[in-house]
Amino acid sequence: MGYKVVVAGATGNVGREMLNILAERQFPVDEIAALASRRSLGTECSFGDKTLTTQDLDTFDFTGWDIALFAIGSEATEKYAPKAAKAGCVVIDNSSLYRYDPDVPLVVPEVNPEAVDGYAKKNIIANPNCSTAQMVVALKPLHDRARIKRVVVSTYQSVSGSGKDAMDELWDQTKGMYVPGQEKEPNVYPKQIAFNVIPHIDKFMEDGSTKEEWKMVAETKKIVDPKIKVTATCVRVPVFVGHSEAINIEFEDFLDEDEARDILREAPGILVVDKREDGGYVTPVECVGDYATFISRIRQDSTIENGINLWCVSDNLRKGAALNAVQIAETLGNRVLKKA
């Protein structure tokens, strides 16, 4: 027997990717339901060679369903996730609502698969922020070897992280730069995103950091090790899909760059492309549609005693969201539910 799976928010960027990845990875599905808000009711979605018609999230009965992948934002999740969980359906939530709840595991399967076992307290598992997910995949195997003291990360995050309207805004603004009369003023973002970079993702906090930067700090501590110090600067860039990160890592013990490269080559979920020549690294354009987190530019940092620099790139709609959610479902099935 397989699982009865629900995808809530099936018409959005992440929801569609969840359906694609469930099919690609041949997740053992006996029955699947695509849910959406009433304004998207009846929209068709692809699931492998099948076409699904969306059902109404508001009236859907979760009783008898095994797993629900949520990609509907925090406000809607707050309303519908407890309803699904109470009906016995395990919710894997892509929003930020439950990430910092001590009774809800925050899981990246390559890093802390055992955390899935704690799902039963609320019948909910949280998916981390997209920028955190790819970073901790790279940090964990290095932390196991040399213990990380501090991480300094600068992100270069694509507009798809803000949703379809943001992707449209980048497209329209880019066209408007060349076509008189088609200029597009900022709407999704506070400043022009085309041919520009914006050092501002999510809301500003009292200490001057943004919520996105705070998320990377808090989530890394919860997923990997609360002792790791993290400081982040998160930047939106005019890229449609694919987040990039320049990461500086300070260790307790010395770690040679060659050993770091070998460790990362053997680590799950990672592909190392690190040639010291023109084009010997991965950029966002090349990572789109791929499952892997790509690591390049691995090198010693000579300004601190035990330091390594690296470049980390991943498809944020996949590893940063949909893929990680499906991997959590796989881990939950293998470790706990064991139906298929």
Which pLDDT belongs to residue 214? Answer: 98
Q: How many CB atoms lie within 10 A of CB 145?
A: 14
Amino acid in position 295: I
Catalytic residue among 45, 143, 234, 243: 243
- 316 assigned to a ligand binding site: yes
- Measured CA to CA, the distance from residue 109 to residue 63 in angstroms comes to 27
| β-strands 55-56, 29-36 pairing | parallel
For residue 289, the model assigns a pLDDT of 93
236 is in an annotated binding site: yes
200 is a catalytic site residue: no
Whether 130 sits among the annotated catalytic residues: the reply is yes
Measured CA angle at 26 (ends 44, 55), to 5 deg: 25
Beta bridge partners of 259: none
Query: Is 161 within any annotated ligand binding site?
Result: yes
Please report the pLDDT score of residue 338 as a whole number: 83
What does R_g of the chain's alpha carbons equal in angstroms?
20
Q: Is 48 annotated as a binding residue?
A: no
Helices (H) then strands (E): counts for the chain: 8, 14
Tokens for 295, please give them: 């690591």
Among 130, 234, 287, 312, the active-site one is: 130
Residues linked to residue 33 through DSSP beta bridges, in sequence order: 6
Is 77 known as a binding-site position?
A: no
Counting as low any pLDDT under 70, the low residues of the chain are 340
Give the H/E segment covering residue 110. none
Is 40 annotated to bind a ligand? Reply is yes
Q: Residue 111's Cα: distance from chain center in Å?
A: 14
